[in-house]
A and B are shown apart, each in its own frame.
Chain A
Amino acid sequence: MNVSLGFVLSKIFTYSLVHDMLAASVPIVLACMCAVISRQVNIINIAAEGIIMFGCFFGVMVSYFTGSWLLAVLVSVLLGVLISAIMAVAYLKYEVNIFVLGLCINMIGTACTRFLLQVIFKTSGNFVSEKVVPIPRINLPFLSDSPVLSSIFSGYTVTEILVIPLVILLWFMLYKSVWGLQLRSVGLNEMASYTSGIDVNRKKLVALLLSGAFAGLAGAHLSLGYSCMFIENMSGGRGYMGMAAMQFGAANPIWAALGCLLFGFSNSVANRLTPYGIPNQFVTMIPYVATILILAISVISQKIRSTRQESSLRKS
């Protein structure tokens, strides 16, 4: 296939890329908030992937049987909280390694949804039905004259719009409220928080439950907002991407969300490149390689900064 680079670029970087990028970012942002909250209490929670799978399946299932997307989202969120509660008991009371726990939840998430798909819907692979009610999209009719503006600002689902205030609220709660101060102190120095009269395990429990709620929401959004179907393994590493973005933003919700936009951007560019014969595997790699680079660069720059700070040759 001989197409000029300029032609390819002109096809990729169009105004609709903005919408694609934002839409692709939102599930990652939600998964990322799951990682952010648990990271703030110094727990690296890799279970987002599994909880997202449960959220996806139960979102579709509840929506299919009741016809209410709102109920579906609620059930997914509650399920996320429930799974996190189980994790919290295992982690806080029985001191199970958090990675073992996360790995098990992820495996259960994939296998259990596949099992339920076979038992409840008697199908395997994926499930599409007209009876599944998706999360509604909000169109702004006054923008419909301009294709550019309406593409960029119109046609988002409720959850996609909700994400922005959610991230800002989370940031505010973490950095400006009593709750957040105590939560962060638990993550930074457990002993200091304990001697200040803070119930450390309770804070960790709350953080885990909240992160489960976010992951559940991410799942419901993925199957009812981003698409309108259930596919086996549909989370496709978004939980892990969210975790990487969390590290990119050093567990600050706003920076982490910006990191997610980067993921959304490379994902959508990757999708657009596929038809032009550029080996799409390399494009698929981009977000992962970028993550690894971001991780490495952020750690190296931190190291350089602290080395400079600690240097004895520096004038104090």
Chain B
Amino acid sequence: MIENKEKRYEPIIRICIAFLVAFAVFAAIIAICGYNPLDAFYQMFRGAFVGKFNFGSTIEDFILILIVGSAYSLTRRIGFFNLGLEGCLYIGAMFSCAPGFLLPDLPSYIIIPVCLISGMAAAAIWASIAGAMKAFLNVNEACTTIMLNYVAIALTDFLLNNPWSAHSAAPETPHVQASAMLPKLPLAPSRASTAIFIAIAVYAFVFFLTYRTTFGFKFRNVADNPRFCEAVGIKSKWVILGTVILSGALGGLAGGCEILGVYGNFIQNFSVNSAFNGIIACLLVKNNLALLPISALFIAFTRTGGNGMEYYTGVPSALIDTVVPILILFVAMDRIFDYKRLWYWLKGKLQSRAPAKAKGGSAK
């Protein structure tokens, strides 16, 4: 018999077990540290969903995570390990911010697109460096994108300290004009904005692009067999470059939404490692686009819930930052939770103890 025909629901069960185990580990550590795990969970839930401010904060995180997750999903599909979204986010944020305070006052319907597009363009150019190095020189992308992140952060640092400084006490740029700000959702006092619609649009766009367009067809092929692509006339190098640039542009859009929706200006280190949360969200569901929104919501929940938990119970939120990557590892090696084997094994034990029940299920 062919063994690799496993039922569709089996991986999902294994992933659920992975979640349960990770949660159990989490609870155990909380208990060891001398806190009440139930209380911590309750505060986490409250911190994420109860009340306008908490729920709004979760949505605020969700927006960023969904956009970056969608962007990451594109490059993950071509086998490009794009850690450079952090840098794209910085560049995109800075260049979305700049037109907002450099240009004279304009109506919203002009200034918002101008800001976002300028950020996306800058981020796309930025991403093209790593993309070109991967496509044409086959330089390992994990290395170049990380290097470029550091360069991008230093570059924005320079810009906000020197030419575009607000000359205030803190290292930041001036505020963008009021009409450039995206309207907030009715969840005040939280900072959640209508950028949620942009996020949903981006997600839908990526979904459509991947499965319903010729470009999606090309980049789905490129990762599996680039030499096949060459032979049938798909320019795999350009497809890789194009996908990376697109992903970078979406990363820049995430930065732009962050500025126009949340902060209003570029503050030094405004988002430490926030792009990585999007990457995590994508990895958590093994790049299954249909599940990405759920995963993004879950990661957003751990972020805001973690803060609530730290505030009310004193359990450091760093703990949840530790548990989430462990969870990803569990999901990535879900074969470790081979419940069927365990089940048969238990069944076998029971049968051997009670030989009266002769013919049970065939224990493999």
Contact = CB atoms under 8 A, between A and B. Distances in A.
A119 B319 CA distance: 10
A44 B137 contact: no
Contact of B328 (A95, A104, A279, A288): A104
A104 B321 CA distance: 10
Majority SS at the chain A contact face: helix
Interface string B113-153: 00000000000000001000100011110111011101100
A243 B150 contact: no
A284 B161 CA distance: 14
A247 B138 CA distance: 13
Contact of B147 (A95, A108, A288): A288
Contact of B322 (A44, A101, A111, A291): A111
Contacts of A96: 329, 332-333
A244 B279 contact: no
Interface residues of B, number: 41
A90 B129 CA distance: 32
Given A118-B318, A285-B151, A295-B133, A240 B328 contact: no
Contacts of B158: 279, 281-282
B65 to A, nearest CB: 15
A237 B150 contact: yes
A125 B81 CA distance: 30
A247 B280 CA distance: 27
A115 B155 CA distance: 31
A99 interface: yes
B143 A118 contact: no
A240 B147 contact: yes
Given A90-B333, A281-B154, A295 B326 contact: no
A225 B41 CA distance: 41
Nearest to A89: B333
B154 A112 contact: no
Contacts of B329: 90, 96, 100-101, 104
A162 interface: no
A300 interface: yes
22 contacts: A44-B143, A94-B333, A94-B335, A97-B81, A100-B332, A103-B276, A103-B325, A107-B324, A108-B326, A111-B321, A112-B318, A114-B316, A243-B143, A244-B147, A247-B139, A281-B161, A285-B151, A288-B147, A291-B143, A292-B147, A292-B151, A296-B139
Given A44-B142, A240-B146, A281-B157, 8 more contacts: A94-B335, A104-B328, A111-B325, A288-B147, A292-B129, A292-B144, A292-B148, A295-B144
Interface of A: 44, 46, 90, 93-97, 99-105, 107-108, 110-112, 114-115, 118-119, 237, 240, 243-244, 247, 279, 281-282, 284-285, 288-289, 291-292, 295-296, 299-300, 303
